[in-house]
Structure 1
Amino acid sequence: MPLVTVARPIKPSPLALLRHSDAPHPERGVSKGELVKVRHGVYASAALWKSLPPWERYLARVYSAALAYPDAIFCLESAAALLGLPIFGDPGDVHVLVPTARSSRLVAGVRTHRSSDDRTILKIGGLAMTSPEDTAVDLARLRHPAIGLAAADAALRLAPGSSADALTLINEARISSRGRDAARWPLARATALSETAIEAVSRAVIEWLGFPAPELQVVFRSSGKEDRADFVWTHVKLGGEADGDLKYDGRYGDARDVLRRQTLRDRRLRTHLRAVAHWGWTDATTVTPLRDILAGAGLRATAPEQTAHLHSLQRLLAAHAPHLIGSSSEGRVR
């Protein structure tokens, strides 16, 4: 596997990790509730650990595994966490690649995967991981197609010189056929225009509900301002915004100010569009609310629903909003 050292930043550990030698008698700290054991021989502040969301605890476990296995090559969700690709909830195991001569196994929360396939391995900040493109292909092969689509979109944002065709070529060139067919759907639809995980998942749900595909990130100009809609169905003059769960929780400022700016923005958009629909993570991943929102706004299905994909998505993702759901443009009144 080719190893490329790059200067690109990766996600830092969300908290300081202490080796056994850094914390005298760490077992006492654990018994007093001052420390938590992240993995064998690695500890962290209990108060800070409890404050972390699930995806950041997972990232901390990836870094703790790196302390134990400094030569590890991280892959799948572990590479995604380091690179800043979407992580849905807490994936659990830390994933690393090993040569085919070694066995695949799970030991102390670290799952090894044998591979003879060529992958580009990045060395960043002393850690080795699969490239964004290879990570996206791995996830598209082995995870739910909506997760694969979110990873593929994010990989193209990280690697602007790449494309859906390039991801597809990587998938088809792999020696192993495992997951190749499953990966074709998300990789073929990957686009850097999709700015967040909720937009990727929404696109998957929209297609599986049988609605026509929207245009993405369409720019409108009015009253001397430029506004961009996440989704536009030109034939019915409908705009769509995947954002609702986030805009009013305070992370983007006072909720009343956010609502005022959104109202003004929607008013400008309605000089070009008949309506602007808004939905959030829960609406998209529980499926029925998004169906009702779009149908109520005048959009009509043109294909049958794909119920198997919709049911599995609801079971897997409804309770697990990804980190980075609010990155880039999410929640910003544009």
Structure 2
Amino acid sequence: MTFNDSARLDTSQVLGGKGGAIAGGGVGGVVLLLVYLFLGGTGSGGAGGLPFDPSQVLSGSSSGSSVDVSECETGADANRSDVCRIVGTVNSVQDYWTDALPADVGVQFRESTTVIFSGSTQSACGTASSATGPFYCPTDERIYIDAGFFDDLSGRFGADGGTLAQMYVVAHEYGHHVQHILGYLAQAQADRSTGPTSSGVRVELMADCLAGVWAHHAADTQDDGGVALIEPLTDADIASALSAAEAVGDDNIQENLGGGTVNPETWTHGSSDQRQRWFLSGYEQGTANVCNTFETDDL
């Protein structure tokens, strides 16, 4: 996925943070905390997840190196830099949901700030660090992303390293913010059970679907001046997003990063196949109305 070089980024939606830490509970079994939170775990009150507006990114403080978003000014910057790409994705996602959420379900969207940090930083859900991975904290309604996570996504988990694989992560986290606004996140957090049909899996697959809905409309999103933020998606872009969805499936993690044994009864996020199918469902149909995983037996 390519940003329009002349589009303007809004860094007011992000904070470039220094280190800190998220107090998180374990997930048990072989599911790593990093993936647990990315997929929607709530060990410390946060939810896993994944547009680009520098104004939507904030800077945290604590131990660790700072993340500078001041040079994230245009789409060209988003095309050359992972950090600026996060900003651009935040801008795009929030531009989309601001209009689409009230149109689709009659509920107003409210913006969420993304904190981009290196090392660790503090959130209202505890300490965020490179060990916890990207997550959404409903308490402060912020998204936390370690600037180095995308290296792990491709190098450790096996995603293809394409740009939409990275942007899928951001869009997934904003899916959790949409769920929080609609009340689904609280519903899922009230049920700490695991398994292939658990509330945890349902909330993660819904966030994948909502990420797909955004992807369907990504090329229609605009900066504050009305300039398109993102160029039309290609088949290669979609394949990249699907590679990320596959990489963070519970079965893939258990088999390739755990003990080698796949145990569906411990799942908290869904299989690779499920995550890909729900992303594609959102992408192909382009509306949040197809994403209610709590009202289907066909996950």
**Structure 1-normalised TM-score?**
0.24
Higher relative contact order (CA 8 A, sep 6+): 2
Bigger proportion of residues as strand? 1
Greater C-alpha Rg: 1
TM superposition score normalised by structure 2: 0.26
